[in-house]
Amino acid sequence: MTATYRQPGVVLTDRHFTVPLDHADPAGESIELYAREVVAGDRVHQNLPWLVYLQGGPGFGANRFVGKQAWLGRALKEYRVLLLDQRGTGHSTPANRQTLPLRGGPAEQADYLTHFRADSIVRDCEAIRPAVTGGAPWTVLGQSFGGFCTVNYLSTAPEGLSTAIITGGLPSLDAHADDVYRAAYPRIERKVTAHYARYPQDVERARRIADHLLNHEVVLPNGYRFTAEAFQSLGIVLGGGEGSHRLHYLLEHAFVRTTQGMVLSDAFQEEVQGLLSYAAHPLYALVHEAIYGQDARPTAWSAERVRAEFPQFDAAKALAGDGPLLFTGETVHPWMFDCDPVLRPLRETAELLAARTDWAPLYDPARLAANEVPVAAAVYHDDMYVDTAHALRTARTVRGLRTWVTDEFEHDGVRAGGPRVLDRLLALTRDEL
């Protein structure tokens, strides 16, 4: 069913598509995709080029904008925009603890989830493009993991693209997950150090919370087992422009005095469980490391293994001394599948994915070196989530790609700086700068 409706300044239309689960078997099982078409209210009847937006993640549906928020207002000046819920996310056929048992046991679930990486998402885009544009190529805007998908698009189906815009999402073309995390932990430490420099009072607050968690069993209202490691993982917010401030405000009201002594406050626990729960995006935890799998080497819980090479992240060791507690960042660990009630049923499935040894390559360096699609990428200096050195190495591989390297924004620059970021990148693709 197609529905069209209005918000301030825009007209939106729900779009539904059917695509193969496995594009190598087009006659086999199919899944549903959902996308939201957006056009400026005063341009509804105009013949406009299309821009498809690929959200970051993996495992997140497209932004639910109201009106012309963030970068969308700039895009609507010249495009019809398709906000795609990538397979398994948002309003597309879901993949979570409630639906995955329909596939069978953990082995069948793991096999199913191998079809939820960048290569399948790009083939989805190509499958629906004729119905959306009439066959004309479109512009793609890829944020974070959406940028990884865009590099796969340039590697496998560049004929579908008129322009490619990437924000905070140039992947390494050949790094194993271990290489990604060995580069990540020092960046994470720098972000934490910068946070404590801004808010030195948070050093003692963080140590106090971690000490409480190491000595008490805490279960959040939603059933999440709140451990010291889980507390450290809240550092993921430091990758956003407002993340340091959000973390500070979270820490300042952690404890409340009760008849049983000092305990973690209800308000603190409520906010924490919203940040830690994977209920809305379980695919992120399930396939996050798989987005780096490209050969016979298993990912094998890479973030957990590599963390052991950086003992300064061990909470107990930090508290035994007088140093600060280090938060972690965009990392997925096996303990999450024990702590989070929505992930617990999927623990064995996650183990099978971590052990998998048949990941196909996602990028084609030779084809990228011959690229003819106009491409521009925002590379955020010392991005917490995507290694700058890896990104720039890839940028040099893609023929004609122009970069904008900036420390004005963190990883969420396309949201925080919206119109300016998109405007600059479009100008780069058009040789206007």
- The residues annotated with a catalytic role in the active site are 144, 358, 411
Distance separating alpha carbons of residues 74 and 61, to the nearest angstrom: 21
Q: What gap in Å lies between CA 353 and CA 204, rounded to an integer?
A: 39
With beta carbons less than 8 A apart as the criterion, state whether 206 and 325 touch: yes
Q: Which of 17, 390, 432, 416 is nearest to 182 (CA)?
A: 390
Asked if 207 and 317 count as a contact pair (C-beta separation under 8 A), the reply is: no
Q: What are phi and psi of 109, to 5 degrees?
A: -65, -45
Tokens of 162: 């008129």
